[in-house]
């Protein structure tokens, strides 16, 4: 089976584009760089669409989830369900932990589930499952994985968890999760989930 890295660089100006080109000479990389910010959710959707393998593993590049458990995840792959990470203990700043706990309650009211970590950016699934889910992946840009779980709930696609070791974040994301920005983030994500919950499932 062919293994390819699809890297969806999102308009950065810190030299990431040049680094991806350099790495592409050593590894099988599909370079999906863009000149302007498209947002997290769109970057993930673009990466999934570009993948031409049977199975797709989505993972963030912030270094918080390492490669150590890739083999375990791969051994649990299935054509019938998704595998999602459970970050435990989760090593994020307190403001992110509080936000996630509060939003988890709201998310659970709309999409009842028993997942411990429904926003974890570590997801492995068969390409056919992602194709089924595609119409429901456009409702959430910031809280993409919350929407992913909601879409699976609507289509009755099972999700299993794998406990993963979480690392402290290399870069400082306090600029994104300032207290003053939390209400806006919560509102946008809440509206997105409501729209997803109301979306019609066609057969």
176 falls in which pLDDT band (50, 70, 90)? low
Helix axes 144-155, 40-50, angle to 10 degrees: 60
66 falls in which pLDDT band (50, 70, 90)? confident
> Is the model's pLDDT at 174 over the cut of 60?
no
Average pLDDT over residues 133-144: 95
Q: 11's torsion region: left (phi>0), alpha (psi -120 to 50) or beta?
A: left
- Give me the phi and psi of 164, to 5 degrees please: -125, 150
């Amino acid at each position: 089976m062919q293994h390819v890295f699809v890297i969806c660089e999102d308009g950065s100006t810190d030299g990431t584009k040049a680094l991806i080109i350099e790495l592409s000479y050593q590894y099988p990389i599909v370079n999906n760089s863009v000149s302007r910010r498209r947002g997290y959710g769109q970057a993930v959707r673009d990466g999934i669409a570009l993948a031409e393998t049977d199975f797709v593993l989505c993972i963030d590049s912030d270094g918080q989830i390492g490669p150590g458990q890739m083999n375990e995840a791969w051994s649990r792959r299935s054509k019938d369900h998704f595998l999602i990470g459970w970050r435990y203990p989760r090593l994020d700043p307190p403001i992110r932990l509080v936000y996630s706990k509060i939003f988890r309650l709201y998310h659970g009211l709309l999409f009842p589930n028993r997942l411990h970590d429904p926003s974890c950016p570590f997801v492995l699934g068969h390409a056919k499952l992602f194709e089924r889910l595609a119409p429901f992946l456009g409702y959430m840009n910031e809280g993409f994985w919350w929407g992913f779980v909601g879409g699976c709930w609507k289509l009755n696609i099972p999700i299993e968890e794998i406990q993963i070791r979480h690392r402290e974040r290399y870069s400082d994301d306090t600029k994104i999760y300032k207290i003053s920005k939390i209400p806006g983030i919560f509102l946008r994500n809440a509206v997105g989930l409501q729209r997803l919950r109301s979306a019609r499932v066609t057969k």
